[in-house]
Structure 1
Amino acid sequence: MIFKLRCAGAVGMALALSACGGSDSSPVVGETGPVTYVDFNEMSIDAQTLSSQYIETDGRLLIERSSAENLPTTGAASYYGFVTGTLEGQGLIGQIAVTADFEGDAITGTASNFIHETNGAYSGTLTAAGLVRTEAHMVITQFSATLEGTLSNDGNDYVTEIALEGDFLTADHAAIGGNVVGYVGDDFLVGGFAAER
């Protein structure tokens, strides 16, 4: 579920935003899935509103991760949210849709609709593949995945690889969150991600 909230005032970098009021507003998910954003500031507000419930801007958890005994061993769960980070000192945000297959111990999904704070929209879709580790000890994340593909901006193509290291969150694994490290072309990306069922 992706929160569509609006805050008054100017919006800075995605990682510098403070949480807006009204966090109990209803989430908005379109009939065919999550809302697709076209404006960096609008996406920044919603990404920060969702993420600030679960993670710091660098991906460190704000709440305890789901306990192993509360995670299912069958079935799957799909999560929708945001990857947020800094690229060349400015904000970059994308939308993620990932599925955790608890029976097959696998993560699949996509990341797309990336928007840069000054360079605008990037076209292209990254594909996610990874592992679920429901029995992971506290020093090991409960899942890891890699987003891979090519993003394009202003006529240039950027081979992209972004690692997601995170955990299932809340007693009923209703969210996921963690840190993000990777490259968009030759430029280093660092930040966090959060998503909800």
Structure 2
Amino acid sequence: MSRPPSRRRVWPWIVAAALALLLVPIAVIVVPILTHESAGQSNQQQSDEQWPLSATAVGDDGRTRTLSVAAENGEPIKTEALVRGERVVVSGTGYDGSQGVYVAVCVIPDTAAEKPGPCIGGVPSQQQDDVAAGTVQWAPSNWINADWAWRLFGARSYDDTSTGDFTAYLELGDPQGEDADCITNSCGIYTRNDHTALDDRVQDVYLPVQFSE
């Protein structure tokens, strides 16, 4: 008669399987951060308009990125007279769909080599749990990332990863709050690489904005 497998022989395989289930997601998250190399600058040129509703930049990676803003109803907005609680639809195209971006109102840095910020709303915190597909979630800052692992933490996916198209829905926060002061400082509606590539400036594109006090 054959003997049933010993418990001592089985439990190491159970532990190994559990560790694999734990380590694989960690590797998916950590490895891209550790191995990312900067793609350079966005090379955004200053617009002839003081308050443009669209901006285009040709990055060092060869991509042409376009960032646009509109009101919730699709009409033009006065970016020189924003108010707290106003809803703004931000759209982008030409972005690197393999790399996540933050979308928020941020303080304009002194030079293009510096990371924009601080930003109103801080780190994006929109929740994805039990949210139906197509649901619009308004927040002071949005996080766009197509990677399934990051979407578990609240990121929105790109509308089209291959073309780098996205839509973000900003409900403007306090322009002079704890996160950022956009009354004293010059600010803009920005896109910038998320925390997986903080030192990479190639997706820094912005539209200057101003708040009504």
Query: Shared fold (TM-score greater than 0.5)?
Result: no
Q: Which structure has greater strand proportion?
A: 1
TM-score (norm 2): 0.27
- Greater RCO (CA < 8 Å, at least 6 residues apart): 2
TM-score (norm 1): 0.28
Q: Which structure has greater helix proportion?
A: 2
Largest Rg, 1 or 2: 2
